[in-house]
Amino acid sequence: MGDKTWSAVFDNSKIKSFVPGFAAQIPLRYGVRRTLDWFNADPSRKRVDLAMNEEMDCILGVYQR
């Protein structure tokens, strides 16, 4: 189950404490679009990993109980 057991909220305050000028440059919607475009550019990136699917099903099954 590992890190999938509990929900979490992440922020970038730690990096900002070390690099005060840090600012995200890419809005979420554009970042998601770029990621989808990357996957769609090469069909081999869209393979289904059956072992990973089984693992995720197991995790979800434990969560649903």
What 3-state class would DSSP assign to 2?
A: helix
Domain boundaries in the chain?
Answer: 8-64
Query: Is-contact 61 54, C-beta < 8 A?
Result: no
Against a cut of 0.75, is the pTM above it? no
56-65 confidence digits (pLDDT tens): 999 999 988 8
- Average pLDDT, whole number, for the chain? 87
Average pLDDT of the residues in 31-35 = 94
* Token pair of 41 as six digits: 């550019």
* DSSP string across 13-61: HHHHHHSTT----S-HHHHHHHHHHHHHH-GGGG---HHHHHHHHHHHH
Query: Is-contact 55 48, C-beta < 8 A?
Result: no
